[in-house]
Structure 1
Amino acid sequence: MSENSNQRPALTGRERQFADDELIVTKTDKGGRITYANRTFLRVAHMTEAEALGTPHNCIRHPDMPRVVFKLLWDQIGAGKEIFAYVLNRARNGDYYWVFAHVTPSRDMGGNIIGYHSNRRTADRRIVSEIITPVYKALLDEEAKHSRIREGMAASEALLGKVLRERGQSYDQFIFSL
């Protein structure tokens, strides 16, 4: 998918997998455009290096991923912090794959954020099916109740905050308790 393409592949319902001892690695510039992608990413995302480089990283965004999770991600890394998250991605051919992502800011010698680095491991299937999928579905349902994206994200963010308060956990505590 080229940077100029707004097309998203139709969902196939097929899952792509990678081994537990493999890492998916990408780096992006500050605007989120891919500057590096390892072979595992290219294989699992079903992309060539030429297709990946320069393309916005959200080219692999799956529509069943709540927008609020990406808001949280960008809020954290934009503030110079790391984040861990379960993410459902869409490969270029419409297949899907789950990852457990660790995203960190990349800095220059002066400490300024110049981009982002993401390592992804296989996601624990039990955690995805029993915990993450129901939470993400509730967040997506909340987002869908609103005609404006920002209103939907705000409502979804409030719902996520409520879930975390009920658990007595921060987002990070929640993720690491799974």
Structure 2
Amino acid sequence: MAERTGIITFQGNSLTLIGAEVKVGEKAPAFTATANDLSPKSLNDFAGKVKLISVVPSLDTPVCDLQTRRFNQEAADLGKDVVILTLSCDLPFAQARWCGAAGVEQVITLSDHKDVSFGQAYGVLIKELRLLSRAIFVVDKQDQVTYVEYVREITNEPDYNQALAAVKKSLG
């Protein structure tokens, strides 16, 4: 598995990402993650939808909390042809608890804790921490990647406006 350095930092310290970089124009990599009810979920489960994939290290941290709440708020304006997925290595039970406490109902949280299938496929698995790095991917209805942001400093928020613009553009 490819290892990439010099891509991201945590509080200024460089970290190693495992997996190849995903690029705009590529077919979205397949993955399997775990839903809050412990069922397996894959990219195919969201076929025919534009997918905004929000990747966070842990929902129980301030920036991840802000990011997930922001996309939950934006979901209402995006329509039923868009699904927002938030992936982290948090356990499914922790994700469900967090969503309940935060009132997040428009975002689907998926856990990559078991196999880190998503992290490796999308090149966001942090070798040193076994957490996912902050990133955004937009995938159109044909499963083509239309937007990618690997957030360089993982304590920073992503560019919400660019990600949302990419979703709207992918809707046609």
Q: Using structure 2 for the length normalisation, give the TM-score.
A: 0.30
Q: Which has the higher helix share?
A: 1
Q: Which has the higher strand share?
A: 2
Q: Whose relative contact order is higher, 1 or 2, with alpha carbons under 8 Å and at least 6 apart?
A: 2
Q: Using structure 1 for the length normalisation, give the TM-score.
A: 0.29
